[in-house]
Amino acid sequence: MTQAAILLIEDEALIRMMLAEMVEELGHRVIAEAGTVDEARSLAEIESYDLAILDVNLQGANVQPVAEVVRDRGLPLFFLSGYGSSGLPKGFEDMPVLVKPCTSDTLKHTIDAVLPNGCRSQLA
């Protein structure tokens, strides 16, 4: 299995910690985390990552500006939501959505489905 560097954006600290632990148990690395749109957008612009996992709603704000940065960099992403696919950012309605709370198996399946084959961490 190839290890991926993951940008994890989630505003609930306990959920973010749980997701980070699950990501690492799956053999990947969380290289940066954020819980606000401004912090997340900054990290999305400067960090080296293979995949972004984005909570749709960050403290009442839509994650669209962050998703646009990730897309503009040509990197894969998927969304987390407690509300299914409702509220996805405009232009991202076809992107995968992982419903919270999720299991390690559903997280693994979604990561594997979104990451390009043979993905190699930029940090390896």
What is the DSSP-derived secondary structure letter of residue 39? Answer: H
In a domain, 35, yes or no: yes
Q: Is 122 domain-assigned?
A: no
Mean pLDDT of 36-49: 98
47 is in which domain, residue-wise?
A: 5-114
Which CATH number covers residue 42? Answer: 3.40.50.2300
Average pLDDT over residues 67-84: 95
Residue 103 lies in a domain: yes
Q: Does a structural domain hold residue 55?
A: yes
> 52 in a domain, yes or no?
yes
pTM beyond 0.85, yes or no: yes
Judge whether 74 lies within some domain. yes
Q: How many CB atoms are closer than 10 A to CB 28? A: 24
Whether the upstream peptide bond of residue 101 has omega within 30° of 0, thus cis, is yes
Confidence of residue 118 (pLDDT cuts 50, 70, 90): low
Model confidence at 121, pLDDT cuts 50, 70, 90, reads very low
For residue 110, give the H/E element and its range: helix 104-114
Q: What pLDDT, in 10s, does the model give residues 46-56?
A: 999 999 999 99
